[in-house]
Amino acid sequence: MSASPATRRAIVRFVLLPLALLTVVLLGGMRVRGADQALLFLPPPLVTLCLAALAMALFLRAGLVRGRAWVSADLPLLVSAQHALTLLALFFATAQAINSVLPEQGLLHWVFVLCFLWTLWQDQFQPWAVARLLRSLAVLFATAFLLKHVLLGALYGGPSPALSRRILNAMLEGVTLGSLDAPGFAPATGYVSFATVALYVGALAMIRPAPDAIDTSERLLEACRDLPVDEQRRLLAAIEDR
């Protein structure tokens, strides 16, 4: 509870952030089969790796991650290695977060992929601030989650074909050259995906553009703590006189 700001930043950077990203990597491919409630682990498709690469380029361009502040010859070797592994975990966590909200097969899979591709590609040319970028990504993942696990889950999640599912298949049969059948996953899959997306957005919020950068106010506070008690009192009295 009495840890210094530097200690708290180190805990977030070296413990909480990697743990959150690795958890996203694990949960992003987890599915619960509806027939027997068995756990399935689906690897990220190649297209999600391409989308994750676009997202990483967007992070660098928007300033969410400053490359030279994370990996540089000026940093200690172990620190640069740890930062590189964290960025690698961020890449795979992004791919798995996208994997979690993409339909697994069929036309809807490619519709979602095109929506992600179009959004991430357009964002490359926008002037972003970090806070606006985080809000935009949160809305993007939340929309994909609602469409897949709420809307499509209501159509395909039941044990027997719903009337709305049969109507949708009949309307789009000529376009898709078949039905819009989706794998039968249990409702628990939606809860796993919700935890994955929430944890991923939270991990993005924990990332500092420059891990070793310290705000001026924090630097002043740490310098004041190092002063003897009598000098701290004189400094406080001088501030109050102003």
Q: Which of 81, 16, 18, 89 lies closest to 52, judged by CA?
A: 89
Q: What is the pLDDT of residue 183?
A: 62
CA angle 83/88/90 to nearest 5° reads: 95
Phi first, then psi, for residue 124 (nearest 5°) are: -60, -25
Secondary structure E strands in the chain: 30-32, 39-41
Please tell me the distance from the alpha carbon of residue 241 to that of residue 176, in angstroms, as a whole number.
77
Q: Which tokens hold the place of 181? A: 């059948």
pLDDT in tens, the chain (242 residues): 556 777 888 888 889 999 999 999 999 999 998 778 889 999 999 999 999 999 999 999 988 998 888 888 888 888 889 999 999 999 999 999 999 999 988 888 999 999 999 999 998 988 888 889 999 999 999 999 999 988 887 766 554 444 445 555 554 454 444 445 556 788 889 999 999 999 999 999 999 888 776 544 455 665 666 667 777 777 777 776 66
Q: What is the pLDDT of residue 106?
A: 80
Q: What is the pLDDT of residue 160?
A: 46
Please tell me the distance from the alpha carbon of residue 124 to that of residue 1, in angstroms, as a whole number.
41
Please tell me the distance from the alpha carbon of residue 39 to that of residue 57, in angstroms, as a whole number.
33
Q: Which of 65, 109, 123, 90 lies closest to 199, judged by CA?
A: 90
Q: Which long-range contacts (CB under 8 A, 24 or more apart) does 198-202 make?
A: 199/20, 199/23, 199/24, 199/27, 200/20, 200/24, 200/93, 200/94, 200/97, 200/141, 201/134, 201/137, 201/138, 201/141, 202/20
Note the Cα 149 to chain centre separation in Å. Answer: 18
Q: What is the pLDDT of residue 236?
A: 73
Please tell me the distance from the alpha carbon of residue 152 to that of residue 156, in angstroms, as a whole number.
6
Please tell me the distance from the alpha carbon of residue 7 to that of residue 16, in angstroms, as a whole number.
13
Phi-psi group of 178: left, alpha or beta (phi > 0 → left; psi -120 to 50 → alpha; rest → beta):
left
Phi first, then psi, for residue 31 (nearest 5°) are: -130, 150
Please tell me the distance from the alpha carbon of residue 101 to that of residue 115, in angstroms, as a whole number.
12
81-138 pLDDT, tens digit per residue, is 999 999 999 999 999 999 999 998 888 899 999 999 999 999 898 888 888 999 999 9
